[in-house]
C-alpha cells in the first residue's frame, strides 16, 4: 500500500513475560474504515495506545501519517482523534460550551472554535441540543458529542474504541452512517475497535481479527468468507409447495449447476450451498421443472460466522491470551 495513514511495523509490547502485542504488522490507507475485532485481552487497546504514543512499544514502530508515534507523540496527537469507549464532559457546561472548550484546548482560536462547534453540532444531529447541559444528555447523545469533540481539531485519522456501546439500535445505525459519510466525503481514515460484529460488518471496508496479541485474519468480508468457507459462501433454501419424490429425477442436474457445492433435500426444503450468489438460476431451475415455490431464503456468510468459525477452530473460550493453534494462521495476510 502506498503512503498508508496507519503503518505498524513489527509492533510488540511486553508486560513482563506477557506479550500483549506480538509483532503486529498492519497498513491502513487514506479513507479506509478498518475494524479491529477480538476477544477481551486480545491486545487491541495496547495496540491503540502505542499508535497514540501513549505507551512505548517494546520493539517495532507505529507510524501515523508518516510520523513515529513513540518519538513524536505530540505531532501524532494533532493528526489523530481518539474516542474511548466512555466519554466524559463538564456537566455544568452546555454541549456547545464543552465543544468550544475542547476546540480551544486544541489551539483553535475562539471565533473559529465557535464556528466549527456549531457546524459539527448540526452535522452530528445535535443542533437542537446545543444549549443543553451535558448532564441531561443520554448515552447516545454523549457518544455523538464525543465524536464531535474528536472531530473539532479536523484529524486525519480517528480511532474509536467501542463507539456504540449503550446506544439504542436506531442511534447505532445513525452513528455508523455518520462515520461512513465522514470517511467517504472527507477521506477520513477510521480505526474502529468493537465486539459488535454486525456493526463492524455494516461499516468497515476491511476487518482484522486479533487474538493472543497477533493479527490472525485480515481482509474484507468476502475474502475472509471465501477462504474460511471455501465450499459454502452462500446458501439458498427453497421451500416447495409439495414434497419432492425420492429419488428425485432432477437431482443430478441441480448438483451439476455451476458453483453448486452441496445439496440437501428434505421433503419440501431444498438447501443449495454455492460459491456465488446464483439464487435467480436456482429459482429458474425449479420453475422450469414445473415445481411451485412458496419461499426463497438466502444466507450469506457474514462476520458472525467468520468470527465463530475462527475461534471454534483456534481458541477455547477462556484462553484469550494463549497462542491460537493456528490452522488458519497467516491465511489471509496480504
- By CB under 6 A, name the binding residues for ligand ATP: 15, 18, 20, 38, 40-46, 321
Cα separation, 282 vs 19, whole angstroms: 50
Q: Indicate the residue among 39 and 219 with the shorter CB distance to ligand ATP.
A: 39
Q: Rounding to the nearest 10 degrees, give the CA dihedral for residues 239, 243, 245, 246.
A: 80
Q: Indicate the residue among 18 and 266 with the shorter CB distance to ligand ATP.
A: 18
Beta carbons within 8 Å of 318's beta carbon, 6+ residues apart: none
Q: Indicate the residue among 15 and 90 with the shorter CB distance to ligand ATP.
A: 15
Cα separation, 52 vs 155, whole angstroms: 13
Shortest CB 302 distance to ligand ATP, Å: 21
- Cα 22 to chain centroid, rounded: 21
Q: Residues 306, 221: contact at Cβ < 8 Å?
A: yes
Sheet (strand 260-266) strand order = 260-266, 269-274, 234-240, 293-300
Shortest CB 208 distance to ligand ATP, Å: 12
Shortest CB 313 distance to ligand ATP, Å: 20
Q: Indicate the residue among 23 and 261 with the shorter CB distance to ligand ATP.
A: 23
How many CB atoms neighbour CB 55 within 10 A?
Answer: 19
Shortest CB 91 distance to ligand ATP, Å: 26
Shortest CB 42 distance to ligand ATP, Å: 4
SS3 76: helix
Q: Indicate the residue among 297 and 308 with the shorter CB distance to ligand ATP.
A: 308
Shortest CB 37 distance to ligand ATP, Å: 10
Q: Residues 303, 221: contact at Cβ < 8 Å?
A: yes
Shortest CB 64 distance to ligand ATP, Å: 18
Shortest CB 234 distance to ligand ATP, Å: 31
Q: Indicate the residue among 46 and 134 with the shorter CB distance to ligand ATP.
A: 46
Shortest CB 57 distance to ligand ATP, Å: 13
Q: Indicate the residue among 43 and 219 with the shorter CB distance to ligand ATP.
A: 43
Give the helix ranges, DSSP H, for the chain.
Answer: 44-51, 73-79, 95-105, 110-123, 139-151, 169-186, 197-203, 221-228, 251-255, 279-288, 303-314
Q: What is the CA radius of gyration of the chain?
A: 24
Ordered DSSP codes for 243-263: PPPSS-TTHHHHHTSTTEEEE
Q: Indicate the residue among 319 and 321 with the shorter CB distance to ligand ATP.
A: 321
Ramachandran quadrant class, 66 (left: phi over 0; alpha: psi -120 to 50; beta: rest): left
Q: Indicate the residue among 211 and 244 with the shorter CB distance to ligand ATP.
A: 211
Task: Give how far Cα 102 sits from Cα of 48, 122, 151, 274, Å.
Answer: 22, 17, 10, 53
Amino acid at each position: 500500500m502506498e503512503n498508508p495513514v496507519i503503518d505498524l511495523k513489527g509492533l510488540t509490547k511486553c508486560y513482563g513475560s506477557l506479550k500483549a502485542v506480538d509483532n503486529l504488522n498492519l497498513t491502513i490507507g487514506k479513507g479506509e474504515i478498518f475494524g479491529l475485532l477480538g476477544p477481551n485481552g486480545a491486545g487491541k487497546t495496547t495496540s491503540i495506545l502505542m499508535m497514540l504514543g501513549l505507551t512505548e512499544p517494546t520493539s517495532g514502530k507505529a507510524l501515523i501519517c508518516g510520523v513515529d508515534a513513540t518519538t513524536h507523540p505530540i505531532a501524532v496527537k494533532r493528526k489523530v482523534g481518539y474516542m474511548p469507549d466512555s466519554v466524559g464532559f463538564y456537566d455544568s457546561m452546555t454541549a456547545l460550551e464543552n465543544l468550544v472548550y475542547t476546540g480551544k484546548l486544541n489551539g483553535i482560536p475562539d471565533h473559529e472554535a465557535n464556528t466549527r462547534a456549531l457546524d459539527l453540532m448540526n452535522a452530528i444531529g445535535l443542533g437542537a441540543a446545543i444549549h443543553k447541559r451535558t448532564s441531561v444528555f443520554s448515552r447516545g447523545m454523549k457518544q455523538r458529542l464525543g465524536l464531535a469533540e474528536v472531530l473539532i481539531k479536523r484529524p486525519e485519522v480517528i480511532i474509536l474504541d467501542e463507539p456504540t456501546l449503550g446506544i439504542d439500535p436506531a442511534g447505532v445505525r445513525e452513528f455508523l452512517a455518520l462515520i461512513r459519510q465522514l470517511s467517504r466525503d472527507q477521506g477520513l481514515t477510521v480505526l474502529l475497535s468493537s465486539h459488535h460484529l454486525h456493526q463492524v460488518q455494516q461499516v468497515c471496508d476491511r476487518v482484522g481479527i486479533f487474538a493472543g496479541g497477533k493479527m490472525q485474519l485480515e481482509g474484507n468480508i468476502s475474502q475472509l468468507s471465501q477462504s474460511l468457507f471455501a465450499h459454502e459462501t452462500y446458501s439458498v433454501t427453497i421451500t416447495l409447495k409439495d414434497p419432492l419424490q425420492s429419488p428425485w429425477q432432477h437431482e443430478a442436474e441441480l448438483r451439476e449447476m455451476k458453483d453448486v457445492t452441496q445439496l440437501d433435500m428434505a421433503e419440501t426444503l431444498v438447501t443449495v450451498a454455492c460459491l456465488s450468489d446464483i439464487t435467480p438460476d436456482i429459482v429458474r431451475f425449479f420453475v422450469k421443472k414445473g415445481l411451485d415455490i412458496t419461499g426463497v431464503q438466502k444466507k450469506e456468510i457474514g462476520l458472525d460466522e467468520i468470527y465463530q468459525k475462527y475461534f471454534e477452530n483456534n481458541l477455547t473460550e477462556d484462553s484469550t491470551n494463549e497462542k491460537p493453534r493456528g490452522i488458519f494462521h497467516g491465511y489471509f495476510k496480504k
